[in-house]
Chain A
Amino acid sequence: GAVVSQHPSWVICKSGTSVKIECRSLDFQATTMFWYRQFPKQSLMLMATSNEGSKATYEQGVEKDKFLINHASLTLSTLTVTSAHPEDSSFYICSARSGQDLYSNQPQHFGDGTRLSIL
């Protein structure tokens, strides 16, 4: 159980293109979803946290107009990288968690990540 599906797994596109990444919880209700970015040989950096039906909370230094997050249902969140440029190339990973509490003790379950390459 507790499967998180992320799609696509790999995207290559031209500079200036907008790219949408989907994150789905397949067998549980994801009250909260998280989006991370990971650079080579580095740990995960939290970009934003989203609760179903609410606006996402972005971490300091993350441009909300560049990285649009939508969490319209309890099983789906999307990250759209708008007008992507080569510096946006990275590995993006989503995570989902159940539980209503802000400090929920439920574990976070992660997708397999999306490798984004902007030419």
Chain B
Amino acid sequence: KQEVTQIPAALSVPEGENLVLNCSFTDSAIYNLQWFRQDPGKGLTSLLLIQSSQREQTSGRLNASLDKSSGRSTLYIAASQPGDSATYLCAVFGTASKLTFGTGTRLQVTL
């Protein structure tokens, strides 16, 4: 059974800092990995999707990497802003043909 873990569970950084969120998964037989953000009381916004054959994807200040063999992904956020405050979820799509979500990292960017 696929298990996805995110570290840290919560993170508070001052505005302008670069930061890294970590995601690990137990079964490396995945088709893709997605990073999402969730604002309080809202649904999920897709940030980046990395196919299993890819190593990284970039969108603006966000960069996600994938090391499938070691079961790890990172989400790098450059020059953080207060508007980046949210919960970040990673999810892997595997052989069960469904997304398995991580536990999430609650990010707060302070002024």
Seen from chain A, the residues whose Cβ lies within 8 Å of a Cβ on chain B are 2, 4, 6, 34, 43-44, 46, 49, 91, 93, 95, 102-103, 105, 107-113, 115
CB interface residues, B 32-55, toward A, < 8 Å? 32, 34, 36, 41-46, 49, 51
> Can you name the residue of chain B whose Cβ is closest to the Cβ of A6?
B43
- 17 more contacts with CB within 8 A, not counting A49-B98, A93-B44, A113-B41, are A2-B46, A43-B89, A43-B104, A46-B98, A91-B41, A93-B43, A95-B99, A103-B31, A103-B93, A103-B95, A103-B97, A105-B51, A107-B46, A109-B46, A110-B45, A112-B42, A113-B43
Q: Is the interface of B mostly helix, strand, loop or mixed?
A: strand
Shortest Cβ gap from B71 to chain A (Å): 18
**Is A43 within 8 A of B43, CB to CB?**
no
Q: Can you list 19 contacts pairing A with B, beta carbon distance less than 8 Å?
A: A34-B98, A34-B99, A43-B101, A43-B102, A44-B89, A95-B99, A102-B97, A103-B31, A103-B95, A105-B51, A108-B34, A110-B36, A110-B43, A110-B45, A111-B43, A112-B42, A112-B43, A113-B41, A113-B43
